[in-house]
């Protein structure tokens, strides 16, 4: 498939895993990014073609992506790289994928759905860990209880961070929490709710966070009320609530720039050995207006290792014209069973009762 798939940001932590995974699957992607030194060295090591370009000039980006069937964007923070790439793809007639888990990015891409259908372009963001398992679980739960009007999703075990992930977190410091209520996204305070959830190893505290599933799960299931959670240490929920007034300061441009500079110096991402030892767990529950509930949970390999595999497989299917034009989530494109196609991903039902022991609105 030479010259059919362009991987942008291929020399970053996750991009490098994606490039290696693509080779192992027999694909020959073209590697790309803005650093000539880094992308040339990577392409030489892997024996692949490469392109060097920044995202500063739309006409240049459009010209670069025009010769490819699809672009897979791995350059973080995706909040800074997505719009130049998917806009160029829409103009050039090139399909677009990325590995974002960022709510605002997903909503922005979804907002171009009509344009994508009109130009015969596939827009498929969030093909990495942050959304694939949770989105597939959301689809599974919605199918199990079609009358559901409320959906809760939670993640446990993110482990260590890559540079791109850490920068994405820094970019989002000024953003409040977010939930979906009656079909609309509503801003809420940081750590708005705390719940104790059982991911299969006993109850753990989790707090509301503005995961991309507030967007993706809605587009997948149509469920109008969605909350997303992540586990935290016992003390963290209180700390997060008490530091809410600092959000404007932490999210200011000077502070964000300083934090990202620190990330560049000290964050490298988990080692191969750390990834092999790491795993993650996902929990989800749906409820309808009559009080009927259905819950399930999943266990996955390390998020970065899984991202490399899900992103490559999603790109392979898009390049093979297995996904129709328009905006898609992973589960709407491939079905709720997509996540289970990968080794180490397991799902189990928790029927009839919620795993929640405590719920506190902050």
Q: Do the Cβ atoms of 82 and 105 come closer than 8 Å?
A: yes
Residues in the chain: 362
Cis amide leading into 77 (omega within 30): yes
Quick one: 56 and 151 in the same domain? no
Quick one: 194 and 245 in the same domain? yes
Quick one: 124 and 244 in the same domain? no
Residue 90: phi and psi, rounded to 5, are -60, -40
pLDDT in tens, 36-62: 999 999 999 999 999 999 999 999 999
- Give DSSP secondary structure letters for 123-178: EE---STTTHHHHHHHHHHHHH-TT--EEEEEEE---S--HHHHHHHHHTTTS-EE
Quick one: 218 and 182 in the same domain? yes
Quick one: 188 and 48 in the same domain? no
Quick one: 313 and 235 in the same domain? no
Distance CA(83)–CA(310), nearest Å, equals 22
Quick one: 72 and 147 in the same domain? no
CATH number for the domain that contains residue 172: 3.30.360.10
**Local confidence band at 241 (pLDDT 50, 70, 90 cut-offs):** low
Indicate the pairing of strand 293-301 with strand 346-351. antiparallel
pLDDT in tens, 314-360: 999 999 999 999 999 999 999 999 999 999 999 999 975 444 444 44
pLDDT in tens, 261-305: 544 554 457 788 888 889 999 999 999 999 999 999 999 999 999
Quick one: 318 and 346 in the same domain? no
The count of domains in the chain is 2
Instruction: Identify the residue whose tokens are 């059982």.
Output: 198
Give the domain range for residue 77. 5-128+305-335
> What's the token pair of residue 48?
């692949």
Quick one: 350 and 229 in the same domain? yes
Cross-strand pairs, 281:
156, 299
> What's the token pair of residue 310?
């899900």
Quick one: 177 and 270 in the same domain? yes
CATH number for the domain that contains residue 329: 3.40.50.720
- Say what the pLDDT of residue 190 is: 80
Quick one: 232 and 161 in the same domain? yes
Quick one: 54 and 113 in the same domain? yes
Q: Do the Cβ atoms of 206 and 154 come closer than 8 Å?
A: yes
Percent of the chain topping pLDDT 90: 73
């Amino acid at each position: 498939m030479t010259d059919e798939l362009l991987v942008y940001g291929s020399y970053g932590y996750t991009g490098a895993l994606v490039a290696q995974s693509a080779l192992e699957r027999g694909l020959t992607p073209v590697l790309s990014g803005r650093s000539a030194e880094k992308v040339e060295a990577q392409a030489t090591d892997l024996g692949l073609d490469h392109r060097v370009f920044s995202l500063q000039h739309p006409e240049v980006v459009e010209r670069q992506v025009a010769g490819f069937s699809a672009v897979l964007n791995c350059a973080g923070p995706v909040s800074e790289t997505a719009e130049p790439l998917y806009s160029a793809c829409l103009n050039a007639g090139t399909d677009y994928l990325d590995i974002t888990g960022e709510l605002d990015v997903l909503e922005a891409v979804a907002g171009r759905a009509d344009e994508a259908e009109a130009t015969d372009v596939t827009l498929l963001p969030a093909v990495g860990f942050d959304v694939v398992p949770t989105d597939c679980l959301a689809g599974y739960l919605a199918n199990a209880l079609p009358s559901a009007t409320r959906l809760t999703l939670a993640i446990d075990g993110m482990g260590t961070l890559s540079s791109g992930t850490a920068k994405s977190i820094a970019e989002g410091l000024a953003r409040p929490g977010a939930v979906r209520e009656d079909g609309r996204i509503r801003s809420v305070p940081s750590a708005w709710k705390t719940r104790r959830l059982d991911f299969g190893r006993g109850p753990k505290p989790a707090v509301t966070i503005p995961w991309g599933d507030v967007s993706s799960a809605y587009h997948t299931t149509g469920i109008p009320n969605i909350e997303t959670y992540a586990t935290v240490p016992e003390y963290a929920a209180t700390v997060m609530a008490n530091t809410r007034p600092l959000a404007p300061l932490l999210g200011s441009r000077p502070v964000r720039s300083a934090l990202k500079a620190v990330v560049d110096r000290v964050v490298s991402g988990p080692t191969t050995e750390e990834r092999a030892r790491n795993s993650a767990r996902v929990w989800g529950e749906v409820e309808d207006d009559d009080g009927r509930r259905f819950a399930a949970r999943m266990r996955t390999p390390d998020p970065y290792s899984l991202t490399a595999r899900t992103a490559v497989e999603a790109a392979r299917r898009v390049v093979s014209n297995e996904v129709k034009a328009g905006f898609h989530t992973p589960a709407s494109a491939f079905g709720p069973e997509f996540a289970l196609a990968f080794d180490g991903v397991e799902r189990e039902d928790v029927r009839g009762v919620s795993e929640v022991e405590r719920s506190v609105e902050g």
